[in-house]
Structure formats: structure tokens, C-alpha cells
């Protein structure tokens, strides 16, 4: 073996011990774009059909976030044009606030740039990777630049950009930058050309558009799928409400969730001039009294200058924090969809017999506030013999891949659905005519990967989902039992009704009644049956 | 709901349409270290026990890679010291080539820096993230710097560094840098302090050390686990061979695996002055004749200057490449462990009755050469009633997490083990007294995540694993059948032997034989039995 390999190896191997210097010459920086270009499956570009979906998703997420931050009712257009068998152009257009010219290249032409990473606030995007990664994938597979049109107001001109990412430097290269006329007063349009595949099924773009519309009832979404058979028709998903989701507050980190290294970094960066004010102003839920308790417990003076606090003191403070009782973080930073809107969205989505929705109270995992919502539709047009349909959402974004790895699936499979009148094979999802919609909203959603397909199994999160499912389960069980009881009664009644005339004839013969008396008996018996039914 | 949130929100929300400018002020760069510090579960630092394992793993991987590149028989020492209930110090020391002073800070104090990312060559590390991420995790949880001692030769002094990563800039900050005396002539020692947990079981550091030693029979590994009950004893895993794995060649990319965007980049970067020479010198397996065919098919002149080739021409060339028959990439860049060493390692690991090993020929997925090896031990000390044990390896590194997501598990479960005489519940791993060792070696292993826990499901890879398993399966089946047959025969023989004297007595009575003749009959019959047994 060794001999064969040696024979075909181009260079002689150096076994000299002085290799450290040689090795040193090969060391170099790897740009984050190079890293993700090579590892693009990590960002959701595993294969052509997932790449198409991810591109649409990143574009729509950004548009929705931008509209909400600016307080605009989103009006979003998604156009997919098939250019050849394997090549597509995706265009996403919104009526958001637009982007100021100087920011455009960085936002679309470099990875890890954005406004959402450094704050604790609920938004769809978290990382500052998504849309530029989609552009990078387009460039990689088609060589075409990303095209952006953006306008920040009526009195401003629209800017038109074409740019590519320089993967070696993770920097944008602007190919075109001019002003153009645009019929929108305000908004942004992004166009990306990429190698892709347009497929149906639960992983499809079509399914995504349906589901995103369901969880964003304030958004109007116009979808133009690629022409498959007939002329590509527009599908409009109208808004169900004109109420924009409440703008969510940005929160400060809760002391319990802060690690020693982060704490030390905060002491170095703080603008506060002493420890006490740093604790009260840079963290959530630390009152001056609490700060005093922490300092005392740590044996560090409250008037100590934070930048002078060394590792050992920081460690004492860190320990003191864990030992001090501190209020849970505020939860008003989470914006739920709300039970009312979930019901309305579900009713627009599917023609069922029964609907339920539960918005749980916000709670906390690892210092991060989060909240769970569950919607359920039952019966009607839903198929009775299949596994129930589960729509999973995180911060209003549907999760379409990796259901098996997701906390939502785990909680749904572990809930005892038999007691809620559904068939339930052990360890699997229940079977029945039901659609479940589970939404988790948080300032920081713990995804299992950057491709944001599944939620990690934090026990606190699974517990909240289970409680939401149980609440909906109890309500649907009441409905199903009531319907069963009614069906039972109707059957019994039909049965009795059928025999009332025979009973009357029997009584007529025994008691020697007239025809009229006999008819009266029929009326009376029917009346009794009627009344007993009503009780 | 909306009202409640509004009441507690600190700032009034701005609904003014001029928000684009406001939003712009919040945009900023995210350093790759900040990204991975927040998303550290992606790198294998999900929880304290996995963090401890990952730290050891990254250190040992680096040491083995360094020794092999320098042609040194690895002699590696792993010490874990428990400092408090949740705090550990991990030290990894090797006899490798050492690191030149100027490189130390970048290698240990910044993410995405290294020599392995930009080349196509088989090595344990791929990304330039591992060891600095471990240092960053240590800093984050304990505030302590990474400590490095390194020496590049007898006549040089050893350097001693203490450094931390500045996560905001992804840059090293050197805390200490001096020369010291060190008893090793050459090598590197890394010490990281971290919050961790020391556990047993299949995910443990102990299991890792056993498994890494099994797949690296040329390495001597000395392991000092944390003192748990008795005084922390040294475990030495001696080397089984003194042959260093053949140094693997670096290869050029194969044209079939290169995407349009990458191709365009290569045209921009090449040192070649014309297209033909760029194709022959920057790619593997492109002869001058093949290059000519590609140019002709693309309709681009072979003497065209690569840097002047535009997108449209590049696209034609890209298409022409797919349409041209090009030899598969060379596979001598892959260094297998080899059947002989796998057998020796398995024999050292477990006392079984039967061993088999198969090294498949190298083949290709997505333009990347790879190779599969399978080892199997059967019977003896292995438990008969349990699911078989499966050790998974990629480039000689054991994979201990996420077996369910791994191509190796998938292939092992899908193989028909019943025909190889093992019990096999449908869709699961087989049951029986067997240990399987599956190794995939490649210039680029397609992991499903940066934490390198599982191999992605490429059909080409699964097929090769299956073929390797089947080969071992056939051999063990032959052994099991033979053993069964022997057991059958032994039973029959014992049975017949038992009755030979009675038969002789019967014959004696019927034929009126003498005592001597009867004894002769016994001898003859025994002899016949003996001979038939031998045939």
C-alpha cells in the first residue's frame, strides 16, 4: 500500500525535523465567506431545491423585519422566474423603509454584517448572514451579481446596485451603482440568479409562502411561482389584520445568563464608572439594592472602577451573581401573534370544524425570554387517516426541514394524545384530522444549526410547548366528546322515533284507543323525546 | 396583549417613514469569533461534558497532524486535572515539529486561521477553527488565557506564551511571551482551563482516547485522566507499528467538482498566461489534449488570457467541462490505515475469536477522492445479546456524537446482516457479539456540522461503506457457518463415538467374533469416523 502511494506521489517527502518553519509558510487567514462557501450546507444550501427555498426565505425574512422595524404594514412580492432547466431568478420586493445607499454593499455583499446580532430583541434574522449568503450562492453557481433597487422616500431617487461578494476578503465589489426611476415610493427589491430546483411537497417554496402568510397575518404576500404548466399566475395571500405586531423592545442581558468571560468583557467595555452602576445599567433586573448585595457577597467594593477589575475579582462577582436572588428577565420584549389572529389565520387556511389557539405566558431559558403559541384546527377538510399536520415556527418564520431534530416535534410526539381523543402510535405524532401550528418567539432562538431548521431541545422550551399542546388538546377533546355524544344521541333518537308509531299501535290495541287517541300518543311520545333531548 | 406590551415598553416607537437612516446607524460588522462564541454549540461546545471532550479532541487532532506532516512518530500526552467540581485543566503535549514563534498567536488566538483549509489534502483538521475555539471557550467560562509551550529544535529555546482571543476583533492578545527551559527537544504543549464535566460512557474522553489510539496505531498516547477515586494513574496506549502513515499528496481540484463562480475566480487568480495552460496546470487530470477539447467545445480560443475571460465565456467553458470526458481524480492522495494495521489494532483492542479488515479502493464524490475501510471483530469477549458496537472514524478521528445522523450508521443499518448470520431488527443495527470499525478518509470529509460529529449522506459514500461492510459480513458469515458446522460435527461425532463400543458388541454377537476381533472393529470404526471427519 505504502509503496503504491509513494510511487505516484509527485513530490519527495521531507522528513527533516526543521519543518516548523516550512509549516509556518503555509498558514494563512481564512475569510468567513470562503469558509461558508465551502461549507454552504451549514447555511441551508445543501442542494438545488433547498437553495431555492433558502433564498426566498432569507429575502422574505429581511423584508418582514424591515417593514416591522419601520412600522409599515408589509406588502411583499415574491417572483420566481425559471430561466433554464436548472436556473432561476428570485426577486423579492417590499414596501419597507429602504436602505441608505452607503449600507447597501455591506448588507448584501459581506457575511456577518447586520443590526440584529448584537442586540437581544425578537426578529426573524439573527446572524447577519442570510441574504448575503444567498447572493454568494448565486454568484458561485451562476456568476451573476445580486441586483438591488432601494428607495428611502418619495423625495429621494431610487438607487440601483449590482454587486458581488469577494469571498477571499468577505467584502463587496460594486459592479453598478446608479440612480433610476422606480414606481414605488419606498422599499427594496432584491434579485438573485441561482442554480436551483422547483419542487412541490412540504419542503417547497409554495408551502413556505402559505405558512409564512399564516404566521404573519398582517402581511400581504403576492407570489408569482415559476410557470410550470400554465402562464405563471399571481397568488395573493391577503392580510387578515391591519394591526402591525407590537414593536419589540431590546433588552439587556440577564445576569444569570452571562458567563465569566462575557462579564469580564462587559467590565472592560462599560461606560459606567463604578461597579454598582455597571451592574444596574448594563444588565436587566439589577436594582441598586441587588447590585449592593452582589458586591457585598463578592467582597468587591461597589465603587470599584470596572475596567480595573481583574480576573479573580470578576470570578467572585460572577459567583455572587449566581448566589443572589434576581428577578426573572422582563418578557414584554416578546411579541406573540396572539390567539385571536392565530384563529383567524387558521380559519383562512383550512376549512375545519373546530379551532383553538393558546398563547402561553413568556418565560425564560438560559436568561433568554421566550414564549410559545399553539393553534389547532380539527375535522372538516382535514384528512382523518393521516398523521396530523404540524406547522413549526420560530419568530414567525416557518421551519420546513429536520422536523425530527426539533423540540416542537419532540413535544408533540411526547404529549398523550389518546386522552385527547386522537389515535397515537407510541413515540410518533398522533393520527387524525388535525393541523397543529406551534410558534416559539424569543430574543434569541436556539437553532440547532445556522440553516435554522430546528429548535434545540431545551427542557424549558419543551415544557412550554407541551403545556400549550395540552391546553389545545383538552379543548379539542371536549369538542370531540361532545360531537360523539351528540352523534350517539341522534342515533338513539332516530331509533326511538322509528318505533314510536309501533308503540302507539301496540298501546291502541291493548288499551282499545281510538285513531285520534293513538295519534295523540304518538305526538306525546315524540314531545317527551324532544324534551329529553333538549335537556 | 398589545396594550400590555406597550405599557411596559421603555421607548416610544417611531412610526416615521424616515427610518432607513436610523436603521443604518445600527448596522455593524460581526466578528467571526463573536458569531461562534454565541453559537458555540455549532463547534461542539454544547454542554460541559461535550466541551471537555471537544477540547481534548481538537488538541490531539492538531498534535497528530503536526507530527505526521513533519514525519515524526507521534508521542502524545493528554493530562486532565480537575481543579474544582466544574473546572478542569486540559494539557496536550506532543513531540511534533513545534511552531515558529510568530505563528503562535494567530494559530491559538484567532478563528479561521490555518494551513489546512485552502488545500485538498487528507488531514484531521480542516477548518482552522478547532483549537482556538477551545481556547475561546476556556476564556469565556473561566477567564483564563491559553498557555502554550513550543520548541522547534534542540538548538532553539522553548517559547512560552499566554494569550487570549479578542472576540470583538477575532485577534490574539498576547499576555505573556518569554523563553523558558523545557525538557523536550521539540514539540508543543497546550494548556486550556475550562468549565467542564468528566463523564463515562460512549461520549467520554476515555472512550475517545481508546478509539483514537485504535485508528492511529503508529501513535503512542499517554493519558492521565482526572483523579476520580484513586490517584490519577497514567494509561499508556503503546504504538502497534513504527511505520508512519504515508504523507499524503495535496491535489488540485478536479474540473467536475468546480462550480462556475469558483472557475471564474480561478481564471482571475491563475498565474497561467493562457486558458489552455490554466486548465492543465490548475486542475487535476486535464491533459493538454483534454484542455484543447474543452476550449473547442466552448468555442473559446486556447490562447485566451484567463483574466480577460468574462462571465459568458466562463459559463461556456464550465458547460464544456461537464460535457467532456475527464479521468477521475487521482486517489493516491488518500492514506488508509491499511488492513494489516486494522487487524493488529483490533486484536490489541478486544479479545475476539475472528477478525476481518477491508480497505476499499479510493473513489470519488463531488470531485473529492475518498476511501472506506471496515474492520470487524467477532465473538470472544464481545457481548452476544447487545446491539453490535460501531466505532466511526473520519480521517482517523473518532466520531462519538450523532450516530443517527451519520452515513456510517445508515449504511450499517441498511446492510442485510441476516444473510451474514447475525440477528438484525429491521432498520436498526444488528445484534450480536461484534465490534465494527468504519473509517472514511478523504481530502474533504463532508461533515453535517462544524462540530464534526457525523458524515453527510452522499450516495457514493454510503455505497462504498456498504460494500466494505458486505465484504466483512461475508467473511464473518463463513467463519460463523464453519464454526456451526464444526460444532454440529463434534456433536455427531461424540454421539457416534459413544455408540461404537455397543455396535462392536452387537457385531461380536452376530458374527461370533473374538474379543480381539471386537477391539479391532472398535479401532476400525473409530478410524473411519476420524477419517471422515478430516475430509
What's the average model confidence in pLDDT over A501-513? 79
pLDDT at B116 over 60: yes
Residue A524 scores a pLDDT above 70: yes
What is the mean predicted confidence (pLDDT) over A359-381? 89
Of A115, A249, A449, the CB nearest to B23: A115
Q: Quick check: B30 and A98 CB within 8 A?
A: no
DSSP symbol at B168: T
**A115: nearest CB among B5, B18, B26:** B26
DSSP 8-state symbol, B251? B
- For residue B391, the model assigns a pLDDT of 94
C-alpha cell at A203: 419542503
Residue of A nearest to B313 (CA): A143
Asked if the model's pLDDT at residue B39 lies above 90, the reply is no
Helix (H, G, I), strand (E, B) or coil at A483: helix
Chain A nearest-CA residue for B316:
A142
Residue A228: its pLDDT value, please? Answer: 64
Q: Are A153 and B17 in contact (CB under 8 A)?
A: yes
Is the distance from CB of B199 to CB of B401 less than 8 angstroms?
no
Give me the pLDDT at residue A229, please: 57
Contact A24 B102 (CB under 8 A): yes
DSSP assignment of A189-225 equals EEEEEEE-----STTSHHHHHHHHHHH-TT-EEEEEP
Coil, helix or strand at residue B16: coil
Q: How confident is the model at residue B127 (pLDDT cuts 50, 70, 90)?
A: low
Q: Which residues of A touch B95 (CB under 8 A)?
A: none
- Return mean pLDDT, chain B: 86
Among candidates B16, B34, B70 on the partner chain, residue whose Cβ is nearest the Cβ of A19: B70
Asked if B207 and B400 touch (Cβ cutoff 8 Å), the reply is yes
Interchain CB distance below 8 Å, A265 and B167: yes
Instruction: Render pLDDT for A205-218 as a digit per residue (tens, 0 to 9).
Output: 999 999 999 999 99
User: Smallest CA–CA separation between A231 and chain B, in Å?
Assistant: 29
C-beta atoms of B100 and A261 within 8 A: no
In the 3-class helix/strand/coil scheme, how is B491-533 assigned residue by residue? Answer: HHHHHHHHHHHHHHHHHHHHHCCCHHHHHHHHHHHHHHHHHHH
Mutate: best of A11, A17, A50, A138, partner B, most B CBs <10 A: A17
Structure confidence by residue, pLDDT tens digits, A191-244 = 999 999 998 888 899 999 999 999 999 999 999 998 765 556 889 999 888 888
Q: Using CA coordinates, name the residue in chain B closest to A336.
A: B1
Which residues of chain B make contact with A13, given a CB cutoff of 8 A? 71, 247
> From the list A2, A27, A246, which residue is nearest B114 (CB)?
A27
Minimal Cβ distance to A113: which of B27, B314, B330? B27
Beta bridge partners of B188: B94, B150
Q: How far, in Å, CA of B222 to CA of B237, rounded?
A: 6
Residues of A in contact with B369 (CB under 8 A): none
Grid-cell match 471496515, residue found = B374
Which residue of B15, B28, B446 is in closest CB contact with A71? B15
Judged by average pLDDT, the poorest of B94-98, B237-241, B377-381 is: B237-241
Predicted local confidence at residue A323, as pLDDT: 92
| Position B14 confidence tier, pLDDT thresholds 50, 70, 90 | very low
Query: Could you tell me which residue, A280 or A329, shows the higher pLDDT?
Result: A280
**Confidence class of residue A6 from pLDDT cuts 50, 70 and 90?**
very low
Q: Provide, as residue numbers in chain A, all residues whose Cβ is less than 8 Å from the Cβ of B114.
A: 27-28, 30
Q: How sure is the predictor about B287, in pLDDT bands with cuts at 50, 70 and 90? A: very high
Distance (Å, whole) CA A45 – CA A55: 9
- Calculate Rg over the CA atoms of chain A: 31
Q: What is the pTM of this model?
A: 0.77
pLDDT tens digits, A153-194: 999 999 999 999 998 888 999 999 999 999 999 999 999 999
CB contact under 8 A, B32 and A112: yes
Residue A427 has pLDDT above 80, yes or no: no
Return the number of CB contacts < 8 Å for A and B: 236
Measured over the CA atoms of residue A439, residue A445, residue A448 and residue A449, the dihedral's sign is: positive
Rounded to a whole number of angstroms, the CA Rg of chain B reads: 31
The pLDDT of residue B142 is: 92
Amino acid at each position: 500500500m505504502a509503496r503504491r502511494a509513494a510511487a505516484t506521489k509527485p513530490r519527495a517527502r521531507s522528513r527533516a525535523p526543521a519543518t516548523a518553519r516550512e509549516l509556518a509558510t503555509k498558514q494563512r487567514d481564512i475569510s468567513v465567506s470562503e469558509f461558508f462557501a465551502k461549507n454552504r450546507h451549514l447555511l441551508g444550501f445543501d442542494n438545488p431545491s433547498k437553495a431555492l427555498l433558502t433564498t426566498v426565505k432569507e429575502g422574505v425574512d429581511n423584508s418582514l423585519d424591515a417593514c416591522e422595524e419601520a412600522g409599515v404594514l408589509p406588502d411583499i412580492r415574491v417572483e420566481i422566474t425559471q430561466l433554464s432547466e436548472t436556473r432561476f431568478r428570485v426577486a423579492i420586493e417590499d414596501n419597507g423603509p429602504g436602505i441608505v445607499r452607503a449600507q447597501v454593499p455591506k448588507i448584501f455583499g459581506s457575511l456577518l454584517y447586520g443590526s440584529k446580532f448584537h442586540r437581544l430583541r425578537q426578529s426573524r434574522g439573527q446572524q447577519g448572514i442570510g441574504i448575503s449568503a444567498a447572493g454568494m450562492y448565486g454568484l458561485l453557481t451562476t456568476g451573476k451579481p445580486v441586483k438591488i433597487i432601494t428607495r428611502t422616500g418619495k423625495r429621494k431617487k431610487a438607487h440601483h446596485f449590482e454587486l458581488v461578494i469577494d469571498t477571499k476578503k468577505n467584502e463587496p465589489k460594486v459592479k453598478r451603482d446608479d440612480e433610476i426611476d422606480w414606481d414605488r415610493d419606498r422599499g427594496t427589491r432584491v434579485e438573485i440568479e441561482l442554480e436551483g430546483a422547483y419542487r412541490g411537497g412540504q419542503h417547497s417554496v409554495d408551502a413556505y409562502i402559505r405558512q409564512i402568510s399564516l404566521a404573519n397575518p398582517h402581511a400581504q404576500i403576492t407570489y408569482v411561482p415559476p410557470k410550470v404548466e400554465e402562464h405563471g399566475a399571481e397568488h395573493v395571500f391577503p392580510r387578515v389584520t391591519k394591526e402591525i405586531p407590537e414593536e419589540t423592545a431590546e433588552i439587556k442581558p440577564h445576569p444569570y445568563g452571562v458567563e465569566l468571560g462575557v462579564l469580564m468583557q462587559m467590565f472592560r467595555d462599560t461606560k459606567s464608572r463604578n461597579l454598582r452602576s455597571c451592574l444596574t445599567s448594563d444588565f436587566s433586573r439589577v436594582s441598586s439594592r441587588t447590585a449592593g448585595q452582589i458586591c457585598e457577597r463578592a467582597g468587591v467594593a461597589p465603587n470599584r472602577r470596572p475596567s480595573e477589575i481583574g480576573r479573580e475579582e470578576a470570578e467572585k462577582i460572577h459567583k455572587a451573581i449566581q448566589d443572589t436572588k434576581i428577578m426573572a428577565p422582563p418578557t414584554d420584549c416578546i411579541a406573540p401573534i396572539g390567539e385571536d389572529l392565530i384563529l383567524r389565520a387558521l380559519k383562512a387556511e383550512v376549512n375545519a370544524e373546530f379551532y383553538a389557539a393558546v398563547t402561553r405566558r413568556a418565560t425564560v431559558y438560559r436568561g433568554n425570554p421566550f414564549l410559545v403559541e399553539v393553534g389547532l384546527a380539527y375535522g372538516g377538510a382535514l384528512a382523518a387517516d393521516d398523521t396530523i399536520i404540524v406547522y413549526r415556527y420560530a419568530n414567525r418564520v416557518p421551519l420546513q426541514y429536520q422536523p425530527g431534530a426539533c423540540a416542537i416535534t419532540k413535544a408533540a410526539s411526547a404529549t398523550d394524545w389518546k386522552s385527547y381523543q386522537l389515535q397515537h402510535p407510541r413515540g410518533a405524532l398522533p393520527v387524525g384530522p388535525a393541523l397543529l401550528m406551534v410558534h416559539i418567539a424569543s430574543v434569541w432562538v436556539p437553532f440547532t444549526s445556522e440553516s435554522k431548521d430546528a429548535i434545540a431541545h431545551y427542557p424549558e422550551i419543551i415544557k412550554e410547548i407541551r403545556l400549550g399542546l395540552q391546553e389545545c388538546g383538552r379543548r379539542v377533546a371536549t369538542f370531540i366528546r361532545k360531537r360523539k355524544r351528540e352523534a350517539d344521541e341522534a342515533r338513539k333518537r332516530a331509533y326511538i322515533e322509528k318505533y314510536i308509531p309501533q308503540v302507539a299501535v301496540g298501546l291502541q290495541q291493548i288499551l282499545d284507543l281510538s285513531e285520534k287517541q293513538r295519534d295523540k300518543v304518538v305526538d306525546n311520545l315524540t314531545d317527551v323525546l324532544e324534551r329529553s333531548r333538549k335537556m
